[in-house]
């Protein structure tokens, strides 16, 4: 990562910049009070079907309506991507569902570390959610490449980044999931 003040490279997670003595603002590095939406633990895809994801996309519909005003699955901030076609064709032995949603990584999130645009990314005060400010974002998509979980993406049609903002502390997807396979939890 780079110092926000002098721009020199600093070690990740360091509290004070060795060159200029600048303390990274608390809005970027968040070690405590971070919340996230995540698939419920202990759900092995092959067993325990009663509470696992059924690929109904209800979360995607409600997410996109809540944020965009109309249910558009392609513009959802959580993506349920079935791989059942691979499974049916015996390409894989385990039938998995890719669930792409931001982990809100505590500490320095990889996307925030990759972002070099001042003020473009910040942490939500209440939930610790990583937020992108479209006013400042220059659409370089460095965050998209940096994310190890493919949890944020760029929409050509809307010309902005899409990522989970935890609905300001009231995640809609968790409320509407018919099998309760999503939970809202404090991770740090």
Partner 1 sequence: MQQSNKRGGWAGKILKIDLTAGKVVEEPVTDELAYSFLGGRGFDAKFLWDMVRPGIDPLAPEAVLTLGAGLLTGTVYPECGRVNVGCLSPLTGIYGFGNSGGWWPTRLKAAGYDHIIITGRSPKPVYVLINDDGVEIKDAGDIWGKTTTETEKILRDKHGRDVRVAGIGPAGENLVRTATTIVDASYSAHGGSGAVWGSKNLKAIAVTGTKKIHIHDPQTFYDLAKQEIKRIRECTRQGEAEYKKYGTLILYKWLPKYVGHGADKRYLPPEEMDHLQPENLFEKYCVGYHAACSNCQENCTYLWEVNVGPYAGTRTGALRFGSTDYMTMGMGNANTSSMVKFHSLCNQYGLCGKMAATALYFALELYERGILTKEDTDGIEIKAGDHEAIIELTHMIALRQGFGKILGEGPGNMARFIKDAYPYRHGVYGRIYTALLPFITSTRGTDHLGCLETFTATPETRNKLHENLVKIYPDLGPPMEPGIQGKTRLMFWEEHHKTVLDCMGRCFIAGGGISGCPSIGYELDEDPMGEGQARLLTILTGREFTGAEILKAGERIFNLERAFNVRQGAGRESDMAAPADQNIQFDWLALGKVDGNIMRQYLDQYYETRGWDKDGVPTRAKLEELGLGYVADELEANRPYPPYQGPPLWPIDKYPSGGERTKW
Rule CB under 8 A: which residues touch partner 1? 45-50, 52-58, 61-62, 65-66, 68-75, 79, 81-82, 84-90, 95, 155-158, 175-176, 178-179
Least distance in angstroms from the C-beta of 135 to partner 1: 22
Instruction: Give 42 or 69: the residue with its C-beta nearer to partner 1.
Output: 69
Cα 160 to Cα 95, 135, 138, 142, 155: the distances in Å are 32, 10, 9, 13, 6
Given the complex with partner 1, which of 113 and 152 has the nearer CB atom?
152
Minimum distance from residue 74 beta carbon to partner 1 (Å): 4
What gap in Å lies between CA 60 and CA 16, rounded to an integer? 40
Are 68 and 2 in contact by the 8 Å Cβ rule? The answer is no
Closest contact distance (angstroms) between CB of 149 and partner 1 is 15
Give the separation between CA 66 and CA 52, rounded to whole angstroms.
24
Q: Given the structure tokens 């990522």, which residue do they identify?
A: 163
The tokens describing 143, both together, are 């965050």
Beta carbon nearer to partner 1, 15 or 69: 69
| Distance in Å, CB of 170 to partner 1, minimum | 12
Whose Cβ is closer to partner 1: residue 11's or residue 85's? 85
Q: 3-state class of 81 per DSSP?
A: strand
| Minimum distance, C-beta of residue 50 to partner 1, in the bound complex (Å) | 8
Q: Which is nearer to partner 1, 6 or 74 (CB)?
A: 74
φ, ψ for residue 153, nearest 5 deg: -150, 165
- Rounded distance, CA 111 to CA 82, Å? 25
Q: What are phi and psi of 160, to 5 degrees?
A: -160, 170
């Amino acid at each position: 990562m780079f110092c926000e003040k002098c721009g020199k490279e600093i070690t990740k997670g360091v509290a004070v910049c060795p060159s200029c003595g600048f303390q990274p603002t608390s809005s970027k590095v968040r070690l405590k009070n971070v919340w996230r939406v995540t698939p419920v633990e202990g759900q092995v895809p092959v067993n325990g079907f009663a509470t696992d994801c059924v690929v109904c996309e209800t979360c995607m519909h409600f997410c996109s309506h809540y944020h965009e005003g109309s249910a558009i699955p392609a513009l959802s901030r959580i993506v349920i991507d079935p791989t059942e076609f691979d499974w049916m064709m015996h390409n894989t032995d385990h039938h998995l569902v890719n669930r792409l949603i931001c982990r809100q990584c505590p500490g320095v999130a990889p996307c925030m570390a990759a972002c070099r645009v001042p003020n473009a990314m910040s942490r939500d005060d209440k939930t610790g959610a990583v937020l992108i400010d479209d006013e400042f974002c220059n659409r370089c998509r460095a965050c998209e490449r940096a994310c190890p979980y493919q949890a944020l993406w760029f929409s050509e049609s809307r010309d902005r980044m899409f990522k989970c903002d935890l609905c300001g502390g009231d995640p809609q997807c968790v409320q509407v999931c018919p099998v309760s396979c999503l939970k809202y939890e404090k991770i740090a």
